[in-house]
Amino acid sequence: MGKGQANVSNTIRTLRFHAGEMTQAALAEKVGVTRQTIVAIEQGRYSPSLEVAFRIAHVFGVPLDAVFQWTPPEADPA
């Protein structure tokens, strides 16, 4: 099925860029997590809790599905 959390992607890097090039550290502070957590989420190595996901979306003022996308395993190419 691929590597790790490959079925969940996100647009955090793009959203940070459009938010005045917000740093990972600044986002982490606003969300209440460590910068390392933001790095791992952004790189797709870690899926955040639902609450943290909503907090991230709230910081950018966008709906949750504008930040995180999930591809069902059935849709993966064979």
The DSSP output letter for 14 is: H
Please give the Cα distance from 78 to 70 (Å, whole number).
18
pTM above 0.95, yes or no: no
Residue keyed to tokens 């992607």: 9
Q: Which domains, ranges and CATH numbers included, belong to the chain?
A: 8-73 (1.10.260.40)
* Digit-coded pLDDT (tens) for 14-70: 999 999 999 999 999 999 999 999 999 999 999 999 999 999 999 999 999 999 999
Contact yes or no for 8/69 (Cβ under 8 A): yes
